[in-house]
Structure 1
């Protein structure tokens, strides 16, 4: 099948001198990008990369990351991107569970991270990675693996989701069509590497023949620097921002001017409703799109064009994207009446293969579609919703997972890390919502912690967990309340946290 990287290579043939990527260090044309991708693809192929090979990509944010991901696809393999700013122990767990067969990195990162990937790493700062014998184009089957992306699971351990080429390529092409991206698109890459949203805001602009702006993550997160980048480079599209980030911009004294000139803002990852309820729609001069979809369904399943005067009494996520089926079903996978509450189940294009190495969980979450053609499957999201004006309206989750700054979080993962502390004998993590509508975490802990302050607990967690899994508050208890069945009474803990 034809991949999005093939289309990017075609841009290099038609308009070789068109700028593809802008960085603080200079610009890279489509011809230059294609040449680097083909050279690295040849190296990867020589090292055995082919269909179903998982290439771990552990490089800093920048052109190297773009080249490495595209090269893996170019030779018919799959990629697993890693956020090298996360703790090395966590990254090691991700490459093990994700089944990385080959590692693409740099000399300094290879030494610092020491990731357990078999064989010698492919080092991007060595001359041989820039001197391949020419294109090593693989032609993957649509059902071949495209990438692995981790998401929290009910076990508390990140689960590796296997996404196929037919889902990824179809989705990126939909993004280009639906958002009207083209050669005049100038998109700022905002999502952190290691999260599937970064695939969208990196490669959709390049697929469209537009220009991708890459700056350090710190420049994206600091309001003044963000505004300066938007103005200096003529950024007109933000394809992967969270409502929390939009609220952060809106709260700045000069917030209204920071995204000036941006005509498309695509938000996802958590509820947009608090931002809209606070009057944030006026921050976005052009088109504002609210997206919804789990990692297990290739990033996005529905989208909603937010009007200039939006409703703020519901979390509206809209209608299915091309090729996707969204159903609101009861526990027996039967349809609920219009307007009634049920579980969101997603089928059609983009449904992932399943979870690597987790057959039981795959069977539980990826189920046969009783209303679809033979072999069709549905992904049970665990999200509750009802249909209404504008499309799907989300109402919360059936399980304990929550969204923190755009990341899906299972409290069990944090509880497990807390229990690894020698002084902690019990741990329960519950979500709370502050006055601004932002979700944060409270950790309720028991044990001999008289000499262990919050800073020490945060340092312990920081060794294995990324920042978005860090509790904002720690509540020390003599003992954890339990239900009649002997389980931790999470509702009581959540209510006590509100009162305290």
Structure 2
């Protein structure tokens, strides 16, 4: 995709005489929309609507205050507020002032937030009076209380100098911790700008777009949720997140606000929303659904694609590479035999390499390395870890680096990448490599199973066996009948030995299945497998 690609109704943010890509931020587009059509609605909440003109004025005012307090390039500002308009204004104003934001999910435990503020090396804090007292976050510089800003109409602070360049920090985001302790990742302005503009172009966003913010603050997906629709000139809908996580109110929210775009969901949530007789109503009218964070294969194997009436995109990308590195637009009749993550987005390169960093032939399995403009600067305050994960890219220009993902992939005949799981989480059963997502997808085809997670366990003799947690299955349904159902499509070594029935799969704050909280079984000697 380039700026020459056109389709009716799509906003093209690379037009209009703005500075070259990387020298600008999403705020430039918000201000441009405010100039062209100040009365157009930018943000909608249950209480009010905010026009682009009003949003731009609030951003400019707060940016001037931040500049007067000392915010500028490379200065990190922690943003600790409830989800809502204040969060949008604060993030944008920090960018406008030349700084970098670190958004925090204030519903997380306080010790976790303290750790994030410390590892992100935040100097400034934007919060409210009540939250400042409750959180007591450690910052070395000023705390700005958003509910006690100077009244409008007084002497205007000096305008921000706007000296931040494309290599300046844009935001700090922490890794999820699913593969180890969370680390503070430094993303630069050029990567953020290029990525958001790609999303607008590739997914056909424009003034017609009405998108809901689903991802919680503090997770990088929320940055896409918030800024992509605003870069496109569309509407951003901010409602209580719990309403979007309940099957009975999800469709009601979309209908109430005319929302047609979900830019950050997870396969776990899609699978949950796909249950019951009203599933087609919940997802059928959505124009664009973007999924990431987990394997989409189980959802597709269970027939989920037919429930999404519009565009369904499977995104892949680590936090270390500006949210998304590859994407796959799922066809109406998908191939469910592989977990396809597609091709690189604009400005990103991908290589499938062996242990000696040599390219493997197409079809062969290797580790995925990501290069290009979206690669992060590294981990804040962790030079050794950065050096071990961000390596020189021999195929790029001088000074280019590539990120070692730890994910196994292979290139399919059509050029798309197939995701094969973590290199450090491969399951071997009797010499066979097993993909849990394939088994989970087969479980979801059972008429009574509504959710499934498959894990590997080891008995006292070091032998590996499969364990399944399932939802929707009654106690009266025998495990043997479930295995018989699976045996119709799976070989014997892929059949779980144990099944545990639970009411609902646990999920993390970001919406991924929380495998770490699932109980581990004890295996009687008579049932241990070889």
Counterpart position of 1:247: 271
Matches within 5 A, 1:69-468: 69-128=91-150, 133=157, 135-136=159-160, 138-152=162-176, 156-388=180-412, 389=414, 391-400=416-425, 435-436=443-444, 438-439=452-453
**1:133 Cα deviation from its structure 2 partner:** 2.8
**1:443 Cα deviation from its structure 2 partner:** 11
Counterpart position of 1:41: 63
In structure 1, runs of 5+ residues without a counterpart are: 403-429, 445-463, 478-492
Is 1:472–2:517 an aligned residue pair?
yes
Per-residue CA deviations over 1:203-233 (Å, capped at 9, x if unaligned) read 0000010000000111111122211110111
The whole-number CA distance in structure 1 between the counterparts of 2:151 and 2:143 is 11
The whole-number CA distance in structure 2 between the counterparts of 1:56 and 1:212 is 22
**Is the 8 Å Cα contact of residues 102 and 173 (structure 2) preserved in structure 1?**
yes
SS in 2 for 1:258: helix
The whole-number CA distance in structure 2 between the counterparts of 1:306 and 1:390 is 15
**Is the 8 Å Cα contact of residues 440 and 471 (structure 1) preserved in structure 2?**
no
Counterpart position of 1:19: 41
Is 1:6–2:6 an aligned residue pair?
no
Per-residue CA deviations over 1:349-404 (Å, capped at 9, x if unaligned) read 100000011111111110011222211111000000000036000101112599xx
Q: How many residues align?
A: 438
**Is the 8 Å Cα contact of residues 441 and 472 (structure 1) preserved in structure 2?**
no
Cα gap change, 1:33 to 1:362, in 2 (>3 Å): same
**Is the 8 Å Cα contact of residues 298 and 437 (structure 2) preserved in structure 1?**
no
**Is the 8 Å Cα contact of residues 43 and 129 (structure 1) preserved in structure 2?**
no
SS in 1 for 2:402: strand
The whole-number CA distance in structure 1 between the counterparts of 2:415 and 2:334 is 11
The whole-number CA distance in structure 1 between the counterparts of 2:70 and 2:399 is 32
The whole-number CA distance in structure 2 between the counterparts of 1:325 and 1:208 is 25
**1:300 Cα deviation from its structure 2 partner:** 0.5
**Is the 8 Å Cα contact of residues 330 and 336 (structure 1) preserved in structure 2?**
yes
Name the larger-Rg structure: 2
Cα gap change, 1:210 to 1:47, in 2 (>3 Å): same
**1:137 Cα deviation from its structure 2 partner:** 5.2
SS in 2 for 1:262: coil
Cα gap change, 1:108 to 1:440, in 2 (>3 Å): farther
**1:123 Cα deviation from its structure 2 partner:** 0.7
**Is the 8 Å Cα contact of residues 298 and 438 (structure 2) preserved in structure 1?**
no
In structure 2, runs of 5+ residues without a counterpart are: 1-22, 428-435, 445-450, 459-507
Per-residue CA deviations over 1:146-204 (Å, capped at 9, x if unaligned) read 10111156994211100000000000011111111111110011111100000001100
Is 1:64–2:89 an aligned residue pair?
no
The whole-number CA distance in structure 2 between the counterparts of 1:115 and 1:431 is 39
**Is the 8 Å Cα contact of residues 328 and 385 (structure 1) preserved in structure 2?**
yes
Cα gap change, 1:93 to 1:368, in 2 (>3 Å): same
The whole-number CA distance in structure 2 between the counterparts of 1:152 and 1:250 is 25
**1:473 Cα deviation from its structure 2 partner:** 3.5
SS in 2 for 1:92: helix
SS in 1 for 2:139: coil
